[in-house]
Structure 1
Amino acid sequence: MLDRKPIFDEVRHLLGRGFDPHEVTALDCAIDRALGMPAHAATGHRLGAAGKALIRKWEGCGKRRADGRFEAYPDPGSADGDPWTIGWGSTGPDIARGVIWTQAQCDARFDRDVAAYAEEVAGALGPAPTTQNQFDALVSFHYNTGAIGTATLTKLHRQGSFAEARGEFGRWIYNDRKPMRGLKARRAEEADLYGRA
């Protein structure tokens, strides 16, 4: 078993800061790939077609320019425009005003990001029994909220309280403390997918 601590310590030193949970998972996945392990090897969970379609439906591949490329745009639901977003809902420190990507860049970033989010969901769920539809719904939820580690619905799912967990999706419809019609509709679709056998 590889001791990853020296790798994380060195990268932390080079960056001059710590990591957020998404970055930890992304770095773990990169190490796994370098070792020839598929990203889903530790958990057995992978995002399915229904989950990928749901995320892409709600994220869209937005702000297409006349030349066919895509430009970054501010979050339309937040008061300050943060976070800046591009492609299939991709955000991060490398995305800001003036960033322009091709469709291939948008697609590649989506594949990378969604794999990391799926790993985070799998880690948060642990050994709890989880159907493919439940997993897909939770990855969509996490891709949009980043809250799989703190959400009550995760705790309820781990306890096997699936009906109660399903009801929790509807609580995540706010941006800057305001209910958003789009988030309400997205959470309803995620809850529906979660509840399917």
Structure 2
Amino acid sequence: MDLSPIGRAALKSREGEVLAAYLDTEKVWTIGVGLTTASGLIKVTPGLTITAATSDALFTEAVKAYAKPVNALGVKLEQHQFDALVSLCFNIGQGGFSGSTVVRRLKAGDVAGAAEAILMWNKPAAIISRRQGEYDQFRTPYTVALPKAWRGDRSPVKAPNFMAPVPAPPPVALPAPIPPVAETTAKTGALGGWLSSFFRWAA
């Protein structure tokens, strides 16, 4: 399966997009749609900037990488479930996802238990609303309701051409791949996601 347009919109909204390198809440250099050096797609260093086209191309490649562990489960998933799991994997890393209780329960046929296990990834506290958004997305078909990026958001994400194919990004030269770095903790997403949580708390 591939990430759907609504799944892509939800993930991008959760991660945010910044075209200049910055330190995320875990003090890791990040750029584009929540991409760090650990992605293996780009080496993020202080002062690095990229174009919107490069950011979109990198995001598309990253999504492919994080969809692989979900597809490797060998479990039949509905589109909304698949999209929520890719979002979770994007945030906690392929290793964290593959060894998670979510995966173990899915393989055992416990879909409801797998949904609850999504909420176990609740540190740091700033990630909880995102995790709740992924939990709601996993449990709710798109025909019932479109997902919110973060549960505290007032409105669901918008996908103008719902379920239409994602347009191919303009051809750009991607940075040379680098060896992947192991991810050990969940990240809270890009600056946009952090600001979203902050303003919801301040409201």
TM-score by length of 1: 0.65
Aligned-residue offset at 1:160: 1.5
Secondary structure of the 1:71 match is strand
Match of residue 23 from structure 2: 74
Match of residue 56 from structure 1: 12
Cα distance in 2 between the residues matched to 1:170 and 1:59: 18
Match of residue 171 from structure 1: 120
Which structure dedicates a bigger proportion of its chain to helix?
1
Aligned-residue offset at 1:71: 0.8
Cα distance in 2 between the residues matched to 1:141 and 1:52: 12
Cα distance in 2 between the residues matched to 1:172 and 1:86: 23
Kindly provide the amino acid, as one letter, of the partner of residue 173 in structure 1: N
Q: Which runs of 4+ in 1 moved over 4 A?
A: none
Cα distance in 2 between the residues matched to 1:138 and 1:57: 15
1:192 aligns with 2:148: no
Equivalent runs, 1:146-185 vs 2, <5 Å: 146=93, 147-174=96-123, 179-181=124-126, 183-185=127-129
Cα distance in 1 between the residues matched to 2:79 and 2:69: 15
1:132 aligns with 2:76: no
Larger radius of gyration: 1
TM-score by length of 2: 0.63
Larger displacement relative to structure 2 (152-161 or 88-97): 88-97
Say what the alpha-carbon RMSD is for the aligned residues. Answer: 1.2
Query: Highest relative contact order (Cα 8 Å, sep 6+), 1 or 2?
Result: 2
In structure 2, stretches of 5+ residues that fail to align are: 142-203
Residue correspondences, number:
135
Cα distance in 2 between the residues matched to 1:158 and 1:130: 11
